[in-house]
Each structure stands twice: as C-alpha cells, then as structure tokens.
Copies of this chain bind each other. A is one copy, B any other.
C-alpha cells in the first residue's frame, strides 16, 4: 500500500519553512501510541512536506505513506475527520485546507507500470549523508539505496534482496543532466543545507531489468521521499 494526500493550504503568515510545525500538528492529531511508536523509529513509513507549486504559486501539504499501518493511522485521519482547518499552535496561525487530492497504488502496480520515468523534481531541500557529512550535491546511488532500504524496512508486501542486481544498478546509474541550487531547510532553530531543482538520470548500457528496477524505484520515491529528514519536510519530490 502506497498512498499520497496533497492538500492545498492557505493562511496569513504561512510559508514553506513551516514543515516541522505541520509535522507537530500531525503527530498531535493522530493516535498517540502510534505517534510514540514513530518517534522511536529511525526511519519512518511516511513523509510530510510543505512545498510551493512553482507554476500556480499555491502551497501544498503533502503526506505520503508506504505501508498499510501508516496509511490507516496518518492519511485516514484527514479523510475520516474531513479536516478543513489546521491550527499551528506555536505560531498562532489558522490554516485553511482549500482542497484535498488522494492517490493510492501498490508496489506491484508500480513495478509493472509501463510509464517510463527519468526526471526527479526536488520540491523541498534535499540532502543525504556520505562519510558522515550532509552533502549539498546529490549522489544518485546513495539516494536510491535509501529508497531500497525504506522499502525493505517498511513494506508489507515486497523485499528487494537480490544484491547483485541492486549493486549493478547502483554502479551503472548516473546523473545525465541537472539544474540545482542550494537552499536552506529550517528545522526549529537549526538550518540544514540541501539542494532543490531537478535532474535527469540514466543507466549505462541497455539492460531491461535494470531499467525496470530504476523506473520502479523512481516511482516509489514519490512516496518514500529522497535523502534524510523526509518526515520533517526535506526530500519531497515529484517524478516526471
């Protein structure tokens, strides 16, 4: 089960640097035992981010889940309670939910999808750790390995365990084009540097199975996010 809810939001003083406040609202709203469970996990079966759609200028809150439990506990909250107003206590800001759209799919459906994807749009600042340091340039193998690990840790239905195939993909995948810039992500009192923009990826050679795996991982990454701090608002992406 993979699910995504996107809410167009509006409010005086609202800006895209408020991801962590929305995350706080989310954790306060859902079942507290499940919120505690999430709190003590290192990686999470969900993402949450605030981003501005560049074409329309509208601001969205996107929440994604990638197992059944997270879907039931997080996304269903918005559907069942018909949430129309969100109060951000710390800032005293009242947010209005103007519209909601939902997408549901499955790992199987994405694996056998015929849509060919190669472009990643980073909607919110993204970063990953290499050699103990948060990086400001993307490493596509590291980012995809993060997706694989999240699938293996949280999926109810599949495991990606063929190390030979995975290693071959991670060795052969590369960034063909990019258009990126640094941008700070604001997390309470700290700033984390990341990159936003877009890039296009390719694989050396013509192995059909690797292309299918890459295509699958890219589509799943819309749900898992890319890089670190994806529950708090970093690494929110779209695939094209």
Interface residues in chain A, defined as those with a beta carbon under 8 Å from any beta carbon in chain B: 136-137, 175-182, 197
Cα of A137 to Cα of B197 in the assembled complex, Å: 14
B180 touches A181 (CB 8 A): yes
Chain B residue with Cβ nearest A183: B177
| A-B pairs with beta carbons under 8 Å apart, 14 shown | A136-B175, A136-B178, A137-B137, A176-B182, A177-B181, A177-B182, A178-B180, A178-B181, A178-B182, A179-B181, A179-B182, A180-B180, A180-B181, A181-B197
Chain A interface mostly helix, strand, loop or mixed? strand
A176 to B180, CA, bound (A): 14
Q: In the assembled complex, which residues on chain B have CB atoms less than 8 Å from the CB atom of A137?
A: 137
**Cβ of A179: which chain B residues have Cβ within 8 Å of it?**
181-182
Complex Cα gap A180–B138 (Å): 12
Cα distance A178–B197 in the bound complex, in angstroms: 12
Complex contacts, A182 vs chain B, CB 8 Å = 176-179
In the complex formed, the residue of B with least CB distance to A138 is: B137
A237 to B198, CA, bound (A): 24
Looking at the assembled complex, report how far the CB atom of A125 sits from the nearest CB atom of chain B, in whole angstroms: 12
| Seed contacts A178-B180, A178-B181; 6 additional CB < 8 Å A-B pairs | A136-B175, A137-B137, A178-B182, A179-B182, A180-B180, A180-B181
